[in-house]
Structure 1
Amino acid sequence: MRPGIRPAKSADLDALVALDKVCFGDSAWSAESWAAEFARLGTDRVMLVADEGMQVGYVVLLMPPAPEDPVDLLRIAVSPADRRTGIGGQLMTAALQRCTGRTVLLEVAAGNEGAGALYRGYGFEEISRRRGYYAGGEDAVIMQWQEKA
């Protein structure tokens, strides 16, 4: 069964906090950070949820109101049990559909090969690195997507 991709709603908060903890462990956003993200929905945040009767993935975008400003893909995650099933691709497709005509930026840990492959598959290209950005000295790879004409 393919999950539905839908806008997040306030009732998703607790489930997304828990899912983020499963996906990111010590790097998970705090419940307070998630609440702040939810408070910004409808302003400069877009949050989509992959839902199969329970939340199995999500994507969070920072979309400045000025169309010339780049969109930041802040977070994308799929529960470990649901990875490699196409859910990440569904979330990415739905997110990029909302970014028509805009540049999208993201950062990913250099060692996160699965995420890097997903992003490259959607046309993201490395534009720079932040050396030693993550705990343990791992580089952050900055990637950019621009809609192809």
Structure 2
Amino acid sequence: GEEQLIHSVCAPDFDAAIERFADALADELRPACMKSCVADTDPDTPVLDADCDVVHESAVTGTRATVLECEVDPSGALTPPTDETICYALRHDAEGLTASPLDDMSPECVEQGWNLEFEIVFTEPLPLGSSISPTCVLSDLVQRDCPNL
């Protein structure tokens, strides 16, 4: 059968409605491909070695804060460092060359020819008016670093 699209406010719980909404939202989220060819700072390694900084800006308070790279918790999940609520991870493995799936790029970014993708992890909702901005050293050797662009 078809999934129910309308849910009653008289239902005993809203789990099905919330799950449906979350699924629909997840379908709309796109990977955070870096829409520029990023320089490989060590071309002798099999995956991209990027030099990037990530900043969290608040339009409300006018503050800028450096976002740190994520750590991997004992369960194997990405998590912000101690005392942080946000972090980023570089996804730079376009071909599954490393043992970890945490650095694997999404097919969408790979198909578009980009060589880097970001994953942002946060443990609290970001304040209204927040933006996350990466800045990376860009490649002067696009044919080498992004041959599929």
TM-score class, shorter-chain normalisation, is under 0.3
**If you compute each CA radius of gyration, which structure gives the higher value, 1 or 2?**
2
Return the TM-score normalized by structure 2.
0.27
Larger proportion of helix: 1
